[in-house]
A = this chain, B = another copy of it.
């Protein structure tokens, strides 16, 4: 895919994003303090717009088919410190401040499973609350 060509113009983000055939873009949430990759999810245009306006990380839940403000039920809101986009426009990075569990399993990160070279998978991150 060709690279995006940002011009610094207001509201250009939604035009630069390479939406998939479901109208979604991949999103990575990363904790600024620790650098931990917290979760991987998807956003639609409304979620991206809401994220920029509210500074609360907002996603599109494919299973529930609706907008999803992370922490709306758990209380573990992800405060947006920075939003970034990659060279070909198919992924956003939400850099956040997010105390507590980012994963619904009440673990710090959704990436709680380590894969060994033999293809076995081991859960090595604790439940924190």
Contacts and interface: CB of A to CB of B under 8 A. Distances in A.
A73 interface: no
B39 A120 contact: no
Contacts of A69: none
Contacts of A3: 105
Contact of A40 (B12, B63, B86): B86
Contact of A6 (B10, B35, B123): B123
Interface string A51-78: 0110100000001000000000000000
A9 interface: yes
Contacts of A85: 111, 113, 115, 121
A7 to B, nearest CB: 8
A30 interface: yes
A90 B27 CA distance: 13
